[in-house]
Structure 1
Amino acid sequence: MNLLMSLTLILLATTVVGHYSTRIGIPAVIGQLLVGVIIGPAVLGWISLTHVLESYAEIGVIILMFIAGLESDLKLLKRYLKPSVFVALLGVIVPMIGTYLVGMVYNLGMVESLFISVIFAATSVSISVEVLKEMNAMSSREGTTILGAAVVDDVLAVVILSVLVSTTGTAVGGSGASSNLLITTLEQIVYFAAIYFVVRWVAPYMAKIGERLLIPMGQTLMAIILCFGMAYLAELVGLSDVVGAFFAGIAIAQTSALSTVDRHIEPIGYALFIPVFFVSIGLNMDFHGLGHQIGFIVVLTIVAILTKLLGAGGGAKLAGYSWKSSAAVGAGMVSRGEMALIIAQIGFQAKLMSPVRYSAIVAAIIVATLVAPFLLRVTVNRVRKGEADVSKVRPSA
């Protein structure tokens, strides 16, 4: 299908479905994900995921995480750093153990089972970000912890992937990570150290330049340059581009350009790129040849969801959160989305899994991603109800 026709269909469908999803109380992102499943190869087959649409989707998730960074409170992120580390650690370890055991039960072999465990260790917080934004919960304790844990989770997933690839001796083409684990780790340390300088000096300087530029939206253009530049450098050192975009947003949030950039960037993202990103996840779904894999998909999906809930939620509980807050944090880490899909694609290209198992794994990733927004919405509402009940009791005490 022609690109313009594809974009027209995607935007029309996501607009209508997003509107009615919100109207009946379902997260709009769920409707957008389902649009991808319905119009993609899985059902109607009207649109397939082309290289151009993948590029639009990549820009969409970068802008989405940049917006998340803009709306994040740096002081809160620092305050909840310890809980975020607990959530990320247990949110990686528990799913790895659970999904590895699933692989072994289905006789996939040690290497393939290990790789599947790495796939489901990853978290795609972009889906959770959209739900948190819809619910105005981005700056809540739970929302801040989810964002912080997602960054740590991403680093852990990349390191584990590098270790697995180096020990199995399989090249990972196009992964952006160095084959030498030590060099990769050093590069990532340097990258995170450089973020301080970006926040302290580079971002304010770029904001001032943007203010003086004799062109429309100068500050926003400089912010986008910083966003894309940091996303590219993150990929260069083996991290996800969304990590760079997120910290670019945090950097701009510390400057005088925050309100201007925040006002301009959302229309750019939500008018085109972000809807394409959410639809692209659904476009990965394909039911062909999955009939005899249903049992494996169901078991893998259930284990993937439960282990993130228990692992990440257990990390939050260990950090002193209430049961309701811990459940909300765990739910926010359930979504696998593009991070898991990218790792799965790497494994498929490196011949670490069969084509049939690859399709089944993609199906499990997408089903888990579809379930995640529902879980997050329910658990966040429970936290709010609990807080409201406490506030009612206090005046009479």
Structure 2
Amino acid sequence: MEFILYLALILVFTKLAGDWSVRLGQPAVLGKLIIGIILGPAVLGWIDNNEFIHYMSEIGVILLMFIAGLETDLDELRKNWKSAFAVAIGGIVLPFCGGYGTGELFGLGHSYSLFMGVVFSATSVSISVQVLKEMNRLHSRERTTILGAAVVDDVLVVILLAVLMSFMGGGEQSSLGWIIGKKIIFFAVVILAGWGAVPVIMKFMSRLKVTEPLISAALIICFGFAYFADLMGMAAIIGSFAAGLAVSQTSFREKVEHKIEPIAYSVFVPVFFVSIGLHVSFEGLGQQIGFIVILTLTAVLSKLIGGAAGARMTGFNTRSSFAIGSGMVSRGEVALIIASTGLQAGLLLPAYFTSIVIVIIITTLVAPPLLKMMFRVPDSQLDRA
């Protein structure tokens, strides 16, 4: 019954740590991540990374990406698609090159360096949106562009991850034609199912005279898509993200989102964030200080400049462009999910996992003050810089 004690410890300490983090002006996920490091082998050693933790965290990350898909507003993207695409492309190309270049500079090897590029191409804008809300800019054009760019960013990074895991994920050896064929089959089936089958399933299940049929339907679709993705040689999170996108296009989106979050965030997601901390080890970290510093500078500047360049090319002034770039800097939970997935798939060296988690944390901490600063700087001062 040791697993029950583990679950109790995780729930108590993640909620307390999340609360303390929010009170200090930081995202709750930061506190949950840090408490995972403290409870794990790196500090106290109260919780082991056993099979129970593994399966619970797998469900947690699948639900987390399903919610990310649910929250992806494709209508928002259509309204401001040119700027959103330009910012997203700029915010992917430069970080990808920067992550890959840093990996090569420190001799990580080609496949590990490519994965580094994918990790730092990710964006988590939930923190940026909170900052914009505090500054009464929640309905500004900058906010719309940041959110639209994040949608494109998420979709493109998920595709990049799928491609990388297909060719370098250490799975079974298959012919190139079959690998590509499975990806085509996956996306074709997902698109067709999302357009045709998902609305029908949701409508049918909603009429059943049982407890919570709608949420059960959403979970069936989520886990079904995740399993199909795994069957096709892709990460399960790619399937669950696609499932969230499909459900988000139905009239049941708000009801599902309202009820699925308590299921995810009350039990499974806390276990996922703690499981990341359980992989952290401070052994040999002192020898990677240079790596952490260079990777942090690369991660922050590449997103800032890449996003700003995309915004500038689509008509934003200098200040707004850099404000949009600042809003894309935070990697947050999206990068943590990708890093954790890559570690399990053999695309990330365990010795560098802690360093990458630290860099992700730093980008998350840097984003809010950077965004506030950019909105306060006059255009004339930026033009002279």
TM-score under structure 2 normalisation? Answer: 0.81
Q: How many residues align?
A: 367
> Would the alpha carbon gap of residues 293 and 200 (structure 1) be closer, same or farther in structure 2, given more than 3 Å must change?
closer
Partner residue, 1:274? 269
Q: What's the secondary structure of 1:331's corresponding residue?
A: coil
Partner residue, 2:155? 151
Q: What's the secondary structure of 2:124's corresponding residue?
A: helix
Partner residue, 1:141? 145
Q: What's the secondary structure of 1:187's corresponding residue?
A: helix
User: What is the CA deviation profile of residues 292-350 of structure 1, one whole-angstrom value per residue up to 9, with x for unaligned ones?
Assistant: 333334434443444344445544554555221122124358963131233244347xx
When the two chains are superposed, the root-mean-square deviation of aligned CA atoms in Å is 3.5
Which is worse superposed, 37-46 or 250-259? 250-259
> Would the alpha carbon gap of residues 294 and 223 (structure 1) be closer, same or farther in structure 2, given more than 3 Å must change?
same
Partner residue, 1:342? 341
Among 352, 359, 381, the alignment partner of 1:361 is 352
Q: Which amino acid aligns with 1:338?
A: I
Q: Which amino acid aligns with 2:363?
A: A
Superposition map of 1:281-320 within 5 A: 281-311=276-306, 314-320=309-315
Distance 2:60 2:211 in 1: 22
Q: Structure 1 residue 118 and structure 2 residue 114: aligned? A: yes
Among 194, 218, 223, the alignment partner of 2:218 is 223
> Would the alpha carbon gap of residues 5 and 124 (structure 1) be closer, same or farther in structure 2, given more than 3 Å must change?
farther
Partner residue, 2:330? 331
Which is worse superposed, 147-156 or 77-86? 77-86
The answer (yes or no) to whether the contact 1:154–1:239 under 8 Å persists in 2 is: no
Among 162, 170, 181, the alignment partner of 1:172 is 170
Q: Percent identity?
A: 35
Q: CA deviation at 1:380?
A: 5.3
The answer (yes or no) to whether the contact 1:187–1:237 under 8 Å persists in 2 is: yes
Partner residue, 1:394? none
> Would the alpha carbon gap of residues 320 and 192 (structure 1) be closer, same or farther in structure 2, given more than 3 Å must change?
farther
> Would the alpha carbon gap of residues 259 and 332 (structure 1) be closer, same or farther in structure 2, given more than 3 Å must change?
same
> Would the alpha carbon gap of residues 310 and 66 (structure 1) be closer, same or farther in structure 2, given more than 3 Å must change?
same
Superposition map of 1:1-397 within 5 A: 2-79=2-79, 86-87=86-87, 89-106=89-106, 108=107, 112-123=108-119, 128=124, 131=127, 140-160=144-164, 162=166, 165=168, 172-173=170-171, 179-311=174-306, 314-320=309-315, 322-332=321-331, 336-347=335-346, 358-379=349-370, 381=372
Q: CA deviation at 1:96?
A: 4.4
Q: CA deviation at 1:81?
A: 5.4
Q: CA deviation at 1:379?
A: 4.9
Which is worse superposed, 144-153 or 129-138? 129-138
Q: Which amino acid aligns with 1:228?
A: F
Q: What's the secondary structure of 2:267's corresponding residue?
A: helix
Q: Which amino acid aligns with 1:339?
A: I
> Would the alpha carbon gap of residues 342 and 270 (structure 1) be closer, same or farther in structure 2, given more than 3 Å must change?
closer
Distance 1:315 1:192 in 2: 28
Question: What are the ranges of 5 or more consecutive residues in structure 1 without an aligned counterpart?
Answer: 166-170, 390-397
Distance 1:48 1:302 in 2: 33
Q: What's the secondary structure of 2:118's corresponding residue?
A: coil
Distance 2:287 2:19 in 1: 36
Distance 2:265 2:255 in 1: 16
TM-score under structure 1 normalisation? Answer: 0.79
Q: What's the secondary structure of 2:98's corresponding residue?
A: helix
User: What is the CA deviation profile of residues 76-115 of structure 1, one whole-angstrom value per residue up to 9, with x for unaligned ones?
Assistant: 2345555565555554543444344444444x3xxx4322
Q: CA deviation at 1:6?
A: 1.0
Q: CA deviation at 1:14?
A: 1.0
> Would the alpha carbon gap of residues 317 and 121 (structure 1) be closer, same or farther in structure 2, given more than 3 Å must change?
farther
> Would the alpha carbon gap of residues 73 and 101 (structure 1) be closer, same or farther in structure 2, given more than 3 Å must change?
closer
Q: CA deviation at 1:210?
A: 1.3
Q: Which amino acid aligns with 1:223?
A: A
> Would the alpha carbon gap of residues 291 and 92 (structure 1) be closer, same or farther in structure 2, given more than 3 Å must change?
same
Distance 2:103 2:125 in 1: 30
User: What is the CA deviation profile of residues 189-223 of structure 1, one whole-angstrom value per residue up to 9, with x for unaligned ones?
Assistant: 34333344333321221112212222100111011
Q: CA deviation at 1:276?
A: 1.3
